[in-house]
Amino acid sequence: MMRAARSGGKGRERVSQPVEVRWGRNTRRAGGSVLLAGLVLGVGLLVAGCTAEQPDIFRPGGSAGEEIRQLALQIFLILSVVLIAVWALLAFVIIRYRRRPEAEASQTRGNLKIEIVWTLIPAVIIVVLFILTVRTTQNLALPDPGAQFTVVGHQWWWEFDFADQGFKTANEVHVAARRQVSADVVSTDVIHSFWVPQMGGKVDMIPGRVNRVSFVPLEEGRYLGECSEFCGAQHGKMRFLFVVDSPEEFSAWVRAQQQPAAAPEGAEARAGASVIATVGCSGCHAVRGTSLKGTFGPDLTHFGSRGGIGAWALTNTPDNLLTWLQDPQAVKPECLMPRVALPLAQQKQLVAYLEELQ
Ligand code: CUA
> Cβ contacts of residue 237 below 8 Å, gap of 6+?
156, 310, 311, 312, 313, 332
C-alpha dihedral over 66, 70, 73, 75, to 10 degrees? -130
C-alpha dihedral over 27, 33, 34, 40, to 10 degrees? -90
Q: Ligand 1 centre and the CA of 197: distance in Å?
A: 15
Average pLDDT over residues 201-206: 92
User: With pLDDT > 90 as the criterion, what percentage of the chain qualifies?
Assistant: 66
Q: Ligand 1 centre and the CA of 22: distance in Å?
A: 21
Average pLDDT over residues 248-252: 96
Residues forming a β-bridge with 182? 214
223 vs 34, residue with greater confidence: 223
Average pLDDT over residues 300-328: 93
What is the β-pairing status of strands 192-195 and 221-227?
Answer: antiparallel
**Mean residue pLDDT across the chain:** 85
Q: Give the distance, in angstroms, between the CA of residue 96 and the centroid of all CA atoms in the same chain.
A: 52
Measured CA to CA, the distance from residue 350 to residue 353 in angstroms comes to 5
Measured CA to CA, the distance from residue 153 to residue 207 in angstroms comes to 9
**Protein residue closest via CA to atom 1 of ligand 1:** 192
Measured CA to CA, the distance from residue 304 to residue 352 in angstroms comes to 9
Between 56-65, 164-173, 216-225, 308-317, the lowest mean confidence (pLDDT) is in: 56-65
User: With pLDDT > 70 as the criterion, what percentage of the chain qualifies?
Assistant: 84
The reported pTM is 0.78
Cβ count within 10 A of residue 127: 10
179 C-beta closer than 6 A to ligand 1: no
